[in-house]
Chains A and B, each alone.
Chain A
Amino acid sequence: EIVLTQSPGTLSLSPGERATLSCRASQSVSSSYLAWYQQKPGQAPRLLIYGASSRATGIPDRFSGSGSGTDFTLTISRLEPEDFAVYYCQQYGSSPLRLTFGGGTKVEIK
């Protein structure tokens, strides 16, 4: 099983600041199969980024994804009040089938 380790566990920032979230995989992951989600309390996760760097429909361009191999990054260029939430990375592999999520990074208001 591929383990995804997200860091930091909690990120305390102010609105307007830049957020950099890390997702490290225990084995190489195809960039096509790395996604990021945002989850707010009491809500389902929402797809932000797929294919490591492609924004999902309706996602503002302040969200960007990058990385390859075992190291991936989600960047929020300027935090808006609605961006304070928990963020998860997720990987998929088809042969053998493997699908796992990272443990999450909470972005909280400083």
Chain B
Amino acid sequence: QVQLQESGPGLVKPSQTLSLTCTVSGGSISSGGYYWSWIRQHPGKGLEWIGYIYYSGSTYYNPSLKSRVTISVDTSKNQFSLKLSSVTAADTAVYYCARFRGDSSGYYYGHFDYWGQGTLVTVSS
């Protein structure tokens, strides 16, 4: 059973960089066909995909956040990370890491099958 766990500061000051790490257990982050993702949810609102990374290091970002987002992977630690720069109060949200199952071996998939519990990040001075 794959498990994901987010970690990082719960409070970030405006204009600074938000940094979170997701640790994956119960499976290898280097497994083919899976993309390691960040999704956020503003308080009381819906879900917003931030971006994802393949174990090879290829990244794909939501165009609306692309200029401020960096996702990286550390296969030796089975972890991947999110950096979001120049944050404002509008970036206050619960941040989830999740595993995205993509196309593989002739099968077509496009969904998130495992999620972390989420971590609330508040942007405030």
Residue in A closest to B47 when the chains form the complex, CB atoms: A101
Residues in chain B near residue A35, CB distance under 8 A: 110-112
* Chain A hits for B48, CB < 8 A: 101
Identify which of B47, B108, B111, B117 contacts A47 (C-beta below 8 A).
Answer: B111
- Give the size range of B's interface with the partner: 20 to 34
Which of B46, B108, B115, B116 makes the CB contact (< 8 A) with A104?
A: B46
Query: Which of A1, A44, A93, A94 is within 8 Å of B96, CB to CB?
Result: A44
Partner of A51, one of B63, B108, B116, B118: B108
* Residue in chain A with minimal CB distance to B108: A32
* Cβ A90 vs Cβ B112 within 8 A: yes
Q: Residue-by-residue, is B102-125 near A (CB-CB < 8 Å gives 1, otherwise 0)?
A: 110000111111011110000000
Interface residues on A, range: 20 to 34
Complex interface: chain A residues within 8 A of B115 (CB): 44-46
Asked if A11 is at the interface (CB within 8 A of a chain B CB), the reply is no
Taking CB atoms and an 8 Å cut-off, the chain B residues in 27-68 that contact chain A are: 46-49, 60, 62-63
Within the complex, what minimum Cβ distance (angstroms) separates A8 from chain B? 15
Please tell me if A56 contacts chain B, counting CB pairs below 8 Å: yes
Complex: how many Å from CA A78 to CA B98? 29
- Closest-by-CB residue of A relative to B52 is A99
Q: A50 and B47 in contact (CB under 8 A), knowing A44-B115, A44-B117, A99-B62?
A: no
Q: Are A33 and B46 interface neighbours, CB within 8 A? A: no
Which residues of A are found within 8 Å of B111, using beta-carbon distances? 33, 35, 47, 50-51, 90, 92
Contact A33-B112, Cβ < 8 Å, known A45-B47, A97-B60, A104-B46? no
* Interface assignment of A84: CB less than 8 Å from any CB of chain B: no
Residue of B nearest to A46 (CB): B115
Quick check: A44 and B46 within 8 Å, CB to CB? no
Contact A47 B112 (CB under 8 A): yes
Q: What are 21 pairs between A and B in contact, CB < 8 Å?
A: A30-B108, A32-B110, A33-B108, A37-B112, A43-B117, A44-B115, A44-B116, A45-B47, A47-B111, A47-B113, A50-B113, A51-B111, A90-B47, A90-B112, A92-B111, A94-B110, A99-B62, A101-B46, A101-B47, A101-B49, A103-B46
